[in-house]
Structure 1
Amino acid sequence: MVSPTFIYESAILVALLHFVKGQEGEKHILVKRGAGPSNCYHSCDGLHHGGCHNGFCECDRGWIGQYCSVRDCSSGLYCTNGGTCVENGMDYTCVCKDGWSGTDCEQVDCTWSGHCNNRGTCVQTSTNTDYTCNNCASGWRGNSCHLIDCSSKVYCYNGGTCMGDVNGGTDYRCICEEGWTGRDCQFINCFSPIRCMNKGQCHLQNGGKEFNCTCADGYLGDNCQIDMCSPYKIADIVFIMDVSVSQNETTFVEQKNFVKYFIAQFPLGPDHFQFSLILYASEPHAVFNLSNMYDNYTIIDAVDNATIPDDKRGATFTGKALAFVKDNSFATTNGGRADVDRYVILLTDGMSSASLDTANQAKLLRLSYPNVRIKSIGSGDIVFHTELLEISTYPLNVFPLHGNDSVRSVQKSTMYGCERCTTAYSDVVLAFDVSSFNYGQLDTMLKTAEVLIANLHTDVNQTRVGLSKYESIAEEVFEFDEYTTSNEMISVMNKHIMKSETCMKDKQCSSRDISSLLQDVLREFQKNSEKSRRKAVVIFSQFIFDKDIAGRVVLEIQNLKDNGVSVIVVGEGLEANIDKMLKLSTTSFFTFIIGEDFNTPIDAILALMSTLEYNICFVQ
């Protein structure tokens, strides 16, 4: 503040000059106090930057000073776009920010990359007073390439969702998919429930961008997601059910129950297991295709209500059914998948009306689908094992209708090495009724037994074999674990199982009462068999008994069954009493008639392999 003193006509005049910096629109004025003329003492409009109003000198915006002749840089009228105004009396200069030039910094300088934030190409407008940005870098948009472009997919990795709503669009946030974390969802979230499941331990690697799992027992996979003891390798499975005239209504119901139980053991759906059901007699009939049924209730109901049209009933043309599966069931139009395992489960008695065509169609099916596995399930009042073995090509793919060995076989093949699922072994007694055979018949039975023994695994903790015989009396030849190699067993068997000359002379063997032999067999199981093992007796006999002897034999066989022993009966040729054998065996599948009369070779006995050496899964 300046306070000059003036002499005006003998009066003392004190004038105070106020130079006030105010808001936009305020005036810089000379305030006159005391006596004086009504006009301003100084002329303030001579330079046309102000005027005298009511005794006050009011300057135009942008000017200050006694004569309104000094530039007012604080007015904001000079040096645009952030330039700095420097007062120089009646003039001024501008110190422009980067990217601007001109008297008032009004001209764009596009040589400076900052206009587009180093992310695009600056282009001046026609007046050179503004600009736009072209070719913004990926991830950016806007006039100055200053806004986040979430559509560019340069943010939020691993399936994360970009939200460009932070700080007016100049920043972003990510909504990460399960299992990921970090600003850009770039890091593994070890606490996510999808990482190292089933009590596995998650370990971060590579700065958190990778991980590995230490899985709990029984699980494997990148995230321990595979239960090694649950079916995991998906498959397409087709059931072929024989409903020809050789199969009665009881068998049909048993077949349906088998199929329903089988299906219930697997998860269903286009990403899991798919099933199809074909009924056949003279012609095949598709009840449902692989793509038709995706829930247990629907598919079980379809099996229950399955029936074959009247015009397709008749004889047993198994070959036609196999050809139908080859041409239709695994087709993609019916739901077949190219990259999965395939199974055909054939339920039949093995007595097709055109056996050569059946064998040929089975071969063609395997040629068309190299990864297909055909499993034959013997069902019916009488089972012809030879055809079942020929269809399946491998003894362990042939099963009886009763029991769940076939289901366990498929389950294990679709698991990843479940340690709780393993091969189990049986205790087997071979019991020879020598008295019922002539020399030729006995030789056939011995060769049949040799084939069976040679194919069993008889090392320590595997299948254990005992041998007993009956001629005039019952005699145990060797117990379980006495021999552990097949060669030893076969040698001892051929040495001891023979017809006695004495017996042939005095007819002491004619009674053929094998009840004592069966009693010895039961005692062997009770004394030496392990409880966890499956027990089976293979009785080689023609089963021709007097009426009173037959009653005792039936009683002893029932005792064996009551003690958990599977009864398997083997006879030779037309002389074998097949009716009696079917009644005594645990199931018709366990009845074998070997010999040329029935066109049944000795290796038909190998159909027993899946029963004697089988898959079992232990519950934890």
Structure 2
Amino acid sequence: MLMLIISGCFFSVFGHEHHHHFYLPEVSEHKAKSFLHKRQATPNPRYCTEITYESWCESNIPYCQGQHEHTREQMCATSAPCVPGQHCLLTTPCPGHFTYACVDIDECASSPCQNGGTCHNGNNLYTCTCLPGWTGHDCEIDIDECASSPCMHGNDCIEDRINSYVCVCSERYEGVHCERDCRPGPADIMFLLDTSLSQLEVMNRSIEYMTRFVKQIPIGPNDFQVALVSYAFKPELVFNFTAHQSNTSVLDALSLIKSERGPTTTSDALTFVAQEILKPENGARLLPNISHYAVIVTNGLSTDRSEALQTAHFLKATDSRFKIFAVGVGDSIGHEELIQLPTDPSYTFAPDNDDLLMAMLKDAVDYGCTDCNSSSVTDVVILFDTSKATSPLTGNSLHSLKVVEKLIDSLNVTNTDIRTAMMTYGNGSQIKFDFHQQSIHDIKAKIYKVSIEDEKGNTSFALSSAQEKLFFEVYTGSRFASRKIVYLFSNGKWPMTEISEIKQEILKLHDVGISVNIMIPVRSFNAEMDNILDNASNVAFDPFRVYVIEDNASSVSLALKAAVRDTKYVECPPDIFKAKQ
């Protein structure tokens, strides 16, 4: 009715445009609220109690549930009670058919799980799934991650955060759990010493090399052990790994070694070592953390070269339980043999440095230790004699330049950290290219432009110039911390008056860390070779650094493989054993 009246009023007001406008009387706020109140009045409670209103109650169950708390309590108390963990509800609160039910109580409603744990409701119970780092019924206990002693070798554990710990490693150990033992060793080293007649004059040098090596490693049952096999016509075990358990004892035993008269049968010596190096009765420690090394000290001029190389290849292919190294000591060195005897060609070493020791120290620590590191940071100078009398071009056509080209290829300067420069010399010297990177094509083009000059050579002056103009001049691209090597190409026919001067200059270079390799390319061995080798051995710091390279592919390949070996090396801290106590 109200709506009709209002509509009519609107019609009469807006239906006669010529009448004066008038306004409806304003409805008071009290009357407006009263109207709303009457429309939202609470139903009569008897709708929920009298059968007459059963249908209304069924349609308004939530409302009626609130009207029967007394009835619910009475029914739950007098009927079969709910089991613990359940709650009694009046499920149908309508007078025609009052019923009740037992429902599970949600134990998780109170959020009992602490520290971010997830609650799972059960029958009269709850369980908590804890975040990592927490435990306990309510995730109230912080787990001690150090309780399981996760840090190895007795190193300390610190629980620095929830679900986290830190191992505080001593200087000796590295890794998340201090699992890497970075003290080199323990290892068993068996020296295989050539005591044949050809080594008679250099036996002291062999002993000096082994002495220097042993002085730099700790000897003992928990460190390095040293055994010695001598061989000439047949091998002999001089002392086993446990005969000498201190540095002093080993050094005393080395000083008593004598040379023998006989041929050099390296094949039998290698077979003997393979049979003896792993025998427990010889003191070998057959444990997973013990490395085993055989070090051949020889000149590489075996009487049974073919058989020796076959035996070496067989051992490399069939027995990986120990590694074979080779050190070239002698008045004359057979590089082709020395490079093939070890387990790997890179395991051939000069006796005038500690490269073998450094390589062995790196090999004898756990993988991933960072104290000893491989490097190829090397500056190489090719010093090529172009004087008429002593140039390797004389009588050799292009063989010597082809050897230089193959040397560049062997250095692999585009893919390593090795840099090369080239200087030619007669009476003076001329830089063909310095250490700054150039294309291989340009380098080789400059190599083949080298020719003989009608001048007398001055090799000692050229060596000095290489030091001053290339190695020690920053603008040439040289590097202060690099290893420095000179490859001196000559025919070796220096006058006797110059031998001493060249020798002195090479000694000076050695003193400032520059090694000089004497490279003598020859068409073939001839009657002059003995004199050439004598000259080269006399000027070289050590005969190991003399390379005679015949004009055939095999000789060139093996000689250069040996000649470039020390452009790749290992660097270790000088006090590594003190630091890694």
Which TM-score applies when normalising by structure 1? Answer: 0.59
CA contact (8 A) 2:316 2:343 kept: no
Structure 1 or 2: larger helix share?
A: 2
> Which residue number corresponds to residue 261 of structure 1?
212
Q: CA deviation at 1:473?
A: 5.1
**Partner amino acid, structure 1, of 2:265:** F
CA–CA distance in structure 1, aligned partners of residues 507 and 215 of structure 2: 32
* Pairwise CA distance, 1:532: 2.5
Q: Give the superposition deviation at 1:452.
A: 3.1
Give the one of 340, 347, 350 matched to 1:400. Answer: 350
1-structure distance, mates of 2:226, 2:496:
49
Match of 1:298 in 2: 249
Cα RMSD for the two superposed structures: 3.6
How far apart are residue 354 of structure 1 and its match?
A: 0.7
Number of the residue aligned with 2:466: 521
Alpha carbons of structure 1 residues 446 and 349: separation in structure 2 relative to 1, 3 Å:
same
1:443 aligns with 2:402: no
Contact 2:153 2:178 in 1 (8 A): no
Q: Which residue of 2 aligns with 1:511?
A: 456
Partner of 2:280: 332
Q: CA deviation at 1:457?
A: 5.3
Per-residue deviation, 1:325? 0.8
Structure 1 CA distance for aligned equivalents of residues 556 and 435 of structure 2: 28
**212, 219, 237: which one aligns with 2:173:** 219
Q: 2: distance between equivalents of 1:192 and 1:396?
A: 37
Give the deviation of 1:586 after TM superposition.
1.7
How many Å apart are 1:599 and its aligned residue?
A: 8.4
Listed one character per residue, the Cα deviations across residues 40-89 of structure 1 (whole Å, up to 9, x for unaligned) are xxxxxxxxxxxxxxxxxxxxxxxxxxxxxxxxxxxxxxxxxxxxxxxxxx
Deviations 1:457-478 (A, max 9, x none): 5369922211112357522111
Residue identity in the other structure for 2:321:
N
Using the alignment, how far apart are the partners of 2:251 and 2:502 within structure 1? 42
Task: Describe the shift of the 1:223–1:568 C-alpha distance in structure 2 as closer, same or farther (beyond 3 A).
Answer: same
| 1:553-583 residue CA offsets vs partner (Å, 9 max, x unmatched) | 5565455345432111111234562221112
Structure 2 counterpart of 1:414, from 346, 364, 368? 364
Give the secondary-structure state (helix, strand or coil) at the position aligned to 1:594.
strand
Q: Which residue of 1 aligns with 2:545?
A: 590
- 2:446 corresponds to which of 475, 482, 495: 495
**Pair 554,390 (structure 1): closer, same or farther in 2 beyond 3 Å:** closer
Q: Which residue of 1 aligns with 2:155?
A: 196
Alpha carbons 2:423, 2:433 under 8 Å: kept: yes
Alignment of 1:83-482 (within 5 A): 188=147, 195-196=154-155, 201-203=157-159, 213-215=167-169, 219-220=173-174, 224=178, 226-228=180-182, 230-232=183-185, 234-249=186-201, 251-307=202-258, 313-338=261-286, 339=288, 340-392=290-342, 394-416=344-366, 417-424=368-375, 425-435=377-387, 436-438=391-393, 441=396, 443-456=398-411, 458=413, 462-470=417-425, 474-482=429-437
Which residues of 2 match residues 50-69 of structure 1 at below 5 A? none
Residue matched to 2:480: 531
Amino acid at match of 2:332: I
2:158 is aligned with what amino acid?
Answer: C
Q: Is the 8 A contact 1:347 1:378 kept in 2?
A: yes
Q: Secondary structure at the match of 2:272?
A: helix
For the residues of structure 1 that align with 2:357 and 2:421, how far apart are their CA atoms?
A: 29
Instruction: Give the corresponding residue for 1:161.
Output: none
1:487-517 Cα deviation digits (max 9, x unpaired): x3465234334454xx5xxxx5253344553
In the alignment, residue 196 of structure 1 is paired with which amino acid?
N
Q: 1:469 to 1:293 in 2, by over 3 A?
A: same
Cα separation, 2, equivalents of 1:281 and 1:447:
38
- Structure 1 residue runs of 5 or longer lacking an equivalent are 1-185
Aligned equivalents of 1:549 and 1:205: distance in 2?
A: 73
Identity of aligned residues (%): 26
SS of 1:383's partner is: coil
Matches of 2:460 and 2:151, distance apart in 1? 67
Q: Which structure carries more strand by proportion?
A: 1
Residue identity matched to 2:494: F
Asked whether the 8 Å contact 1:451–1:603 carries over to 2, the reply is no
SS in 1 for 2:252: helix
2:212 counterpart SS class: helix
Shift of 1:245: 0.8
Classify the secondary structure of the residue corresponding to 1:392. coil
Q: Deviations over 1:412-432 (max 9, x none)?
A: 111233333223322210111
Assess if the C-alpha contact under 8 Å between 1:539 and 1:569 holds in 2.
yes
Q: Any conservation in 2 of the 1:379–1:589 contact (CA below 8 Å)?
A: yes
| Change in CA separation of 1:335 and 1:549 when aligned onto 2, cut-off 3 Å | closer
Shift of 1:406: 0.2
Hey, what's the Cα distance between the residues in 2 that align with 1:327 and 1:460? 40
Which amino acid letter does the alignment assign opposite residue 204 of structure 2?
Answer: V
Counterpart residue type for residue 520 of structure 1: S
- Conserved 8 A contact 1:248-1:380: no
Structure 1 residues 363 and 420, CA, compared in 2 at 3 Å: closer, same or farther? same
374-383 vs 572-581, which moves further: 572-581
Relative to structure 1, the CA distance from residue 324 to residue 556 in structure 2 (aligned partners, 3 Å threshold; closer, same or farther) is closer
- Secondary structure of 1:569's counterpart equals strand
8 Å CA contact 2:547, 2:563 repeated in 1: no
- With normalisation by structure 2, the TM-score equals 0.63
In 1: Cα distance, 2:392 partner to 2:486 partner: 19
Distance 2:372 2:414 in 1: 20
Task: Give the structure with higher Rg (CA).
Answer: 1
SS at match of 2:253: helix
1:16-35 alignment runs, 5 A limit: none
Identify which of structures 1 and 2 has the higher relative contact order when contacts are C-alpha pairs closer than 8 Å and 6+ apart. 2
The aligned amino acid for 2:545 is F
Q: 1:191 to 1:302 in 2, by over 3 A?
A: same
Q: Distance in 1 between matches of 2:501 and 2:520?
A: 19
SS at match of 1:535: strand
1:540–1:569 Cα contact (<8 Å) kept: yes
Query: 1:235 Cα shift?
Result: 2.9
SS at match of 1:293: coil
Q: Return the letter of the residue paired with 1:332.
A: P
Matched, 1:579 2:534: yes
Pick closer, same or farther for the CA change 1:469–1:193 going to 2, 3 Å. closer
Range with bigger deviation, 269-278 or 409-418: 269-278
SS at match of 2:564: helix
- On the 8 A contact 1:188/1:204 being kept in 2, the answer is no
Amino acid paired to 1:431: L
> Is the 1:239–1:277 Cα contact (8 Å) retained in structure 2?
yes
Match of 2:353, SS state, is coil
Is contact 2:381–2:423 with CA below 8 Å preserved after alignment? yes
How far apart are 1:222 and its partner, in Å?
A: 7.2
The answer on whether the counterparts of 1:594 and 1:602 sit within 8 Å (CA) in structure 2 is no
Report the 3-state secondary structure (helix = DSSP H, G, I; strand = E; otherwise coil) of the residue aligned with 2:370.
Answer: coil
Count of paired positions: 414
CA separation of 1:550/1:497 partners in 2, compared to 1, >3 Å: closer, same or farther?
A: farther
C-alpha separation between the residues in 1 aligned to 2:302 and 2:316? 19
